[in-house]
Amino acid sequence: QVQLVDTGGGLVQAGGSLRLSCAASARTFSSYSMGWFRQTPGTEREFVAAFRWIDGSTYYADSVKGRFTISRDNAKNTLYLQMNSLKPEDTAVYYCAARSWTTAQDMGVMTPDYWGQGTQVTVSS
């Protein structure tokens, strides 16, 4: 069983930055990929970025490539999403997610096993 707690959302002006954190609890993460998804009202949850724990490989949605960086702190079992050059269209509830035995790239097309509770990010124009 994996528990995920998302924090770090807030209100920021366009062009600004935020860092999201996902504190994870599990016996071991070596078999997991973790990632971030986002959702706006009336739309499906959208893949943002993923990180494969065992080798550090990453994968990004085209819409955030070059602006967002996903990383981890192994000692703290924490996943981060550094979001720079934020745009109003980045406004959404952001969810941390985890799936076992999955590559970072496959996190973009497969349903995660576990979800965080979500954190709101609002970018004003």
Nearest to 97 by CA among 124, 69, 70: 70
Q: How far apart are CA 23 and CA 27, in angstroms?
A: 13
pLDDT, tens digit, 9 for 90 and up, residues 20-72: 999 998 767 788 999 999 999 999 999 999 999 999 999 999 999 999 999 99
108: left (phi over 0), alpha (psi -120 to 50) or beta: alpha
| CA dist., res. 47 & res. 39, Å (int) | 9
Range in 15-19, 27-31, 82-86, 117-121 with the lowest mean pLDDT: 27-31
88 by Cβ neighbours in 10 Å (0-12 / 13-18 / 19+) ranks as exposed
Among candidates 33, 30, 63, 34, which has minimal Cα distance to 48?
A: 63
73-87 pLDDT, tens digit per residue, is 988 999 999 999 999
Average pLDDT of the chain, as a whole number: 94
Over its C-alpha atoms, the chain yields an Rg (Å, rounded) of 13
